[in-house]
Amino acid sequence: MNHSRPTEAEIDLLLSAIMKVETGGEPDPTYAVGRYQEIGPFQITYNYFIDSGIKGTWTYNCLYVDRSIKVMRAYWNRYAKLHTLEEYARLHNGGPNGMSNMNTLEYWHKVKTEMEAGQ
């Protein structure tokens, strides 16, 4: 992949892969709650939501796909430096320091595998 920002099609594929990894492909992941109280189809924590800077409530903005995507994009815009698909996935999983957290590499490989399967 080149060093330009991902295309919208690539980001759409990334988002689908993250949702699959986070909620296991549940047909209705809206009310999925993770073991750390993450919510919705992308399993967003309260602190992630607050860090995104999006106004409103956590539940209103993170229980549904379209609103969750706005939260994720705002979060990525705040913390991403490289603006690559890998960085977006690792930030989503590991927080603002996700790229320096080696534990997020396994998450990225899961997401990348889902992306490759979805092409």
pLDDT for 2: 52
pLDDT for 32: 78
Domain range spanning residue 75?
8-118
Alpha carbon of 100 to those of 14, 95, 114: distances in Å?
A: 20, 10, 22
Please report whether residue 64 resides in a domain: yes
Alpha carbon of 104 to those of 35, 52, 64, 89: distances in Å?
A: 17, 19, 24, 8
Dist. CA 78–CA 103, nearest whole Å = 21
What string of DSSP letters covers 48-82?
HHHHHT--S-HHHHHSSHHHHHHHHHHHHHHH-SS
CB 18 within 8 A of CB 92: yes
Please report whether residue 88 resides in a domain: yes
Give the number of other Cβ atoms within 10 Å of residue 34's Cβ: 13
Mean pLDDT in consecutive groups of 10 residues from the start of the chain, 119 residues: 81 96 80 81 96 97 94 98 97 96 96 92
pLDDT for 105: 97
pLDDT for 35: 78
CATH number, domain of 45, equals: 1.10.530.10
Please report whether residue 49 resides in a domain: yes
Residue with tokens 């706005």: 70
Please report whether residue 3 resides in a domain: no
How many distinct structural domains can be found in the chain?
1
pLDDT for 118: 82
pLDDT for 37: 85
pLDDT for 3: 63
Please report whether residue 104 resides in a domain: yes
First to last CA, the chain: 15
